[in-house]
Amino acid sequence: MSAAQDLQLRPGQSTELLKELHILTREGKLNQDSRRKLKQVYHLHQFIDQLLKELPAGEDGPAIVDHGAGKSYLGFIIYDLSLKESGRGTVYGIETRQELVERSRALAQRFGFERMQFLHTSAAEAADDQSLPERVELVTALHACDTATDDAIAFGLRKHSAAMVLVPCCQAEVAARLRQGKALSLSRTPLAELWRHPLHTREMGSQLTNVLRCLYLEACGYTVTVTELVGWEHSMKNELILARYTGKPKRSSAERLRALLAEFGLESLEPVRFPALAQEPAE
Ligand SMILES: C[S@@+](CC[C@H](N)C(=O)[O-])C[C@H]1O[C@@H](n2cnc3c(N)ncnc32)[C@H](O)[C@@H]1O
């Protein structure tokens, strides 16, 4: 089936770019995997494009930093559809795998996408990287592995990002801590039944991680919406967290976050993942 019949390509979308990204075959067709990927990225791009129209940005246009960029499908599509024509705005891809960084650099050069940069660094180290601007309007992280989403959030807070668009991957840190404290929790609260079996520990850890992330963002002055990225048949990691800065930190969210950490015996995570809680919110 051709791409046009199967999934509507966006107006202005470069089919050559999609071929180079291996989303389209040489014949311009989509296979099942790439169809799923394109659907996800298009859906995400819809939100991002809207945000870019609304966000205040300096003369050079918005700085967008994509964490765990991988092959940079998302970055290339944002650039192609939202930034290319306007001549303003820069996409930065953060990726720990050198070969993917080099591949993306080469592709950007081939397409003349001058305002795309790829950094061989981790999401945790990116905030100290001098080649990134002081202020970043938009942070994205699509299935950035494990705690890279937490690092992307910390990055967004450091860079005073106006918005963050996050689709978390699996996260093992909270599950590991739940596992460690399991015996104690079981004796303390019947709620610990929710993570007694190993499969439930993983699922509960994942769910709890995203709940804590949302509360943290609210506590730091963001409004948060949580929706599905695409139908579950398309991806198991399907939670889309959209956060927009309002400048009004929510004290109640900070309190809830702390209460949840205490309930689950996860207090040691506070200084590691939620350091901004130490600064008391205004309301
Ligand atoms: C599952 S892939 C997703 C790639 C891309 N965002 C997408 O959706 O196609 C996750 C990527 O994050 C990279 N990665 C893992 N940990 C990272 C970290 N701490 N900082 C930056 N990149 C990381 C991996 O090398 C991998 O390319």
pLDDT digits (tens, 9 = 90+) for 27-48: 888 888 888 888 889 999 999 9
Higher-pLDDT residue of 6, 115 = 115
CA torsion sign for 222, 153, 75, 24 is negative
User: Is the C-beta atom of 248 inside 6 A of ligand 1?
Assistant: no
Q: pLDDT tens digits, residue range 203-235? A: 999 999 999 999 999 999 999 999 988 765 555
| Cα angle, residue 40 at apex, residues 34 and 41 outer, rounded to 5° | 90
Query: 265 C-alpha vs ligand 1 centroid, how far in Å?
Result: 29
DSSP 3-state percent helix, strand, coil across the chain (nearest 5): 50, 15, 35
* Alpha helices, H only, the chain: 3-6, 15-20, 32-54, 73-78, 98-110, 123-126, 148-158, 173-180, 182-188, 198-219, 251-263, 269-273
Q: For position 141, what pLDDT does the model report?
A: 97
Cα separation of 18 and 77, whole Å?
9
Residue 122's φ and ψ, nearest 5 degrees, are -100, 160
pLDDT tens figures, 173-189: 999 999 998 888 888 88
Of all protein residues, whose CA lies closest to atom 10 belonging to ligand 1? 144
pLDDT tens sequence across 155-174: 999 999 999 999 999 889 99
Give the residue extent of every domain in the chain: 170-283
Q: Which of the listed residues 40, 95, 140 should we mutate to test ligand 1's pocket, taking the one with most ligand atoms within 8 A of CB? A: 95
Neighbours of 247 (CB within 10 A): 8
Cβ atoms of 209 and 174 within 8 Å: the answer is yes
Q: What pLDDT is recorded for position 280?
A: 63
Section 113-126 average pLDDT: 98
Note the pLDDT of residue 1.
47
Distance, CA of 231 to CA of 208 (rounded, Å) = 21
What is the mean predicted confidence (pLDDT) over 90-117? 97
Q: Closest by alpha carbon to 129, among 76, 103, 92?
A: 92
pLDDT at position 230 is 79
Percent of the chain with pLDDT over 70: 94
Report which of residues 197 and 8 the model is more confident about: 197
148 lines ligand 1 (CB under 6 A): yes
**Tens digit of pLDDT for each residue in 248-262?**
999 999 999 999 999
Residue 26 has pLDDT above 90, yes or no: no
**Quick one: average pLDDT of 129-133?**
96
3-class secondary structure, 242: strand
Residue 132 reports pLDDT greater than 70: yes
CA dihedral in degrees (210, 214, 219, 223; nearest 10)? Answer: 170
Q: Is 23 in the pocket of ligand 1 (CB under 6 A)?
A: no
The dihedral through the CA atoms of 26, 30, 35, 39 has a sign that is: positive
What pLDDT was estimated at residue 250? 96
